[in-house]
């Protein structure tokens, strides 16, 4: 349900990203509007015995600020990715926080799985070498909130420190809850987003055995194909995105470059299935409606939608039915992108990366495409931004994120004047 106005407005003043499309936000955006796929053969382990041999891997070289080599070895990859995204976002926002301001600045970086590689490695040590050889850093390296914790430590952020562990909606929820923390007056600045590094033997095997992943091993770049008749599952991916959210008046007072407004946020649950959406997308419908109402808008005011659309047989049609139910006749005039066609599915980081892409679309008037949409599924008919970017000025964008357990998040973002 919509909430009463609080008087505080939230804006986005910084962006940072490491994704399968690049080591920075600029590289990610440039690759996205060029329609480049970030999917390829898995390089992280031997896939000989695996049904799935492809993934969307982020670069191994990225800038995460000053850390001693010894400290880096004590961090899981998902935390390092988050540090890199936060470091870039801090620089992009031009923030220089003093002691008083640091107490009003917080972090909320979500993750669906956390340090799965660390846990897998430690279990192997336990089995082969015994309990005394298990690293004492196993727990601090693997827990989901360590990305938020280390970002706070590195930048001296002493305000709220949170981790939304809401599966594939983690990044969306982190941004939405951070905006509400600012609206409530709990913080003036929040570093919000998501991070995930799930390309491990355990995760790939488990998702493959669920029949959730694409097995298009011979043509990886064509494997993620949301809304296409020939889609056969999602492509697992890794990466992180962090957005700097700030109270509007504070941002104006310091002369910040305001990139976009956070207008609305919705969150619901399907309460129906652990892994499958409902056929009519009822929970997604309510989520989008709540986010639009929270923004004080009507569905017809939305100019662009970045879909959750993972490229699964059940998930894509469910979301399309939800979009049609919410937007009605306006659906015909609502451009829709499914950028997971390029990034793969970054699980807990997906919503943050997609929110970042929405910000860039609002700034530039360029909508990133859904690639590999060669034979649109009749059940998924929409105004698809198919196969190449579209230039059109937009004022309001909505980003959907849905996750296992039936959790849903939707963000409404607006262009600056």
Note the pLDDT tens digit of each residue in 363-377: 999 999 999 999 999
% of the chain at pLDDT higher than 90:
92
Q: What is the pLDDT of residue 154?
A: 93
Q: What is the pLDDT of residue 200?
A: 98
From 328, 325, 350, 339, select the one nearest 373 (Cα to Cα): 339
Instruction: Tell me if 208 sits within 8 A of 50, measured CB to CB.
Output: yes
pLDDT of 33 above 70: yes
With 0-12 / 13-18 / 19 or more C-beta atoms within 10 angstroms meaning exposed / middle / buried, residue 417 is exposed
pLDDT of 280 above 70: yes
DSSP H or E run through 378? none
Task: For Cα atoms 19, 317, 206, give the angle at the middle one, nearest 5 degrees.
Answer: 55
Tens of pLDDT, residue by residue over 116-154, are 999 999 999 999 999 999 999 999 999 999 999 999 999
Classify strands 396-403 and 304-306 as parallel, antiparallel or unpaired.
parallel
For residues 292 and 264, give the distance between their C-alpha atoms in angstroms, rounded to a whole number.
6
pLDDT band at 1, cuts 50/70/90? Answer: very low
The torsion angles phi and psi of 270, rounded to 5 degrees, stand at: -70, -35
Q: What is the pLDDT of residue 202?
A: 97
Q: What is the pLDDT of residue 71?
A: 85
For residues 225 and 340, give the distance between their C-alpha atoms in angstroms, rounded to a whole number.
8
Q: What is the pLDDT of residue 5?
A: 52
**What domains can you pick out in the chain, each with its CATH number?**
10-253 (3.40.47.10), 263-414 (3.40.47.10)
Instruction: Tell me if 51 sits within 8 A of 216, measured CB to CB.
Output: no
With b for 16 or more beta-carbon neighbours within 10 A and e for fewer, the 61-88 pattern comes to ebebeebeeeeeeebbbbbbbbbbbbbb
DSSP class of residue 401? Answer: E
From 106, 79, 144, 348, select the one nearest 244 (Cα to Cα): 106
Instruction: Tell me if 192 sits within 8 A of 13, measured CB to CB.
Output: no
Q: What is the pLDDT of residue 178?
A: 98
pLDDT of 64 above 90: no
pLDDT of 400 above 70: yes
pLDDT of 245 above 60: yes
What is the 3-class SS of 94-148, one letter each residue?
A: CCCCCHHHHCCEEEEEECCCCCHHHHHHHHHHHHHHCHHHCCCCHHHHHCCCHHH
Question: What would the mean pLDDT of 157-163 be, rounded to a whole number?
Answer: 97
Instruction: Tell me if 165 sits within 8 A of 148, measured CB to CB.
Output: no
pLDDT of 100 above 80: no
Tens of pLDDT, residue by residue over 300-328, are 999 999 999 999 999 999 999 999 999 99
**Secondary structure of the chain: what % helix, strand, coil (to 5)?**
40, 20, 40
Q: Which residues are identified as catalytic?
A: 168, 308, 345
Of the listed ranges 58-67, 209-218, 331-340, the one predicted with least confidence: 58-67
pLDDT band at 381, cuts 50/70/90? Answer: very high
pLDDT of 2 above 50: no
Tens of pLDDT, residue by residue over 162-221, are 999 999 999 999 999 999 999 999 999 999 999 999 999 999 999 999 999 999 999 999
């Amino acid at each position: 349900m919509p909430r009463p106005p609080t008087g505080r407005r939230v804006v986005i003043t910084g962006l940072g990203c490491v994704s399968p499309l690049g080591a920075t936000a600029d590289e990610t955006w440039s690759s996205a509007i060029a329609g480049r796929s970030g999917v390829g053969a898995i390089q992280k382990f031997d896939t000989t015995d695996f049904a799935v041999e492809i993934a969307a891997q982020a670069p191994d070289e990225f800038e995460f600020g000053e850390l001693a080599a010894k400290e880096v070895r004590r961090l899981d990859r998902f935390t390092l990715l988050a540090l890199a995204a936060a470091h870039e976002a801090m620089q992009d926002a031009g923030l220089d926080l003093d002691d008083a301001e640091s107490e009003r600045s917080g972090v909320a970086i979500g993750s669906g799985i956390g340090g799965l590689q660390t846990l897998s490695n430690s279990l192997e040590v336990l089995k082969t070498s015994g309990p005394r050889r298990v690293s004492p850093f196993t727990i601090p390296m693997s827990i989901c909130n360590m990305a938020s914790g280390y970002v706070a430590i590195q930048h001296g952020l002493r305000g709220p420190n949170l981790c939304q562990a809401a599966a594939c909606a983690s990044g969306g929820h982190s941004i939405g809850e951070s905006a509400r923390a600012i609206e409530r007056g709990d913080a003036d600045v929040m570093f919000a987003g998501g991070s995930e590094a799930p390309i491990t033997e355990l995760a790939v095997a488990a998702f493959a055995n669920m029949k959730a992943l694409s097995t298009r091993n011979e043509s990886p770049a064509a494997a993620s194909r949301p809304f296409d008749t020939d889609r056969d599952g999602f492509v697992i991916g890794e990466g992180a995105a962090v957005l700097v959210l700030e109270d509007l008046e504070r941002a104006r007072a310091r002369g910040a470059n305001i990139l976009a407004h956070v207008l609305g946020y919705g969150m619901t649950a399907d309460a129906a299935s652990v892994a499958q959406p409902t056929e009519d997308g009822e929970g997604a419908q309510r989520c989008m409606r709540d986010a639009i109402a929270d923004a004080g808008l009507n569905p017809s005011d939305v100019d662009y939608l970045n879909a959750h659309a993972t490229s699964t047989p059940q998930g894509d049609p469910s979301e399309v039915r939800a979009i049609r139910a919410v937007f009605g006749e306006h659906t015909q005039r609502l451009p829709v992108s499914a950028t997971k066609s390029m990034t793969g599915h970054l699980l807990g980081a997906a919503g943050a990366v997609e929110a970042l892409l929405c910000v860039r679309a609002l700034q530039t008037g360029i909508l990133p495409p859904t690639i590999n949409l060669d034979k649109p599924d009749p059940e998924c008919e929409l105004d698809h931004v198919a196969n190449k970017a579209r230039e059109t000025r937009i004022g309001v964008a909505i980003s959907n994120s849905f996750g296992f357990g039936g959790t849903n998040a939707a963000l409404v973002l607006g262009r600056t004047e």
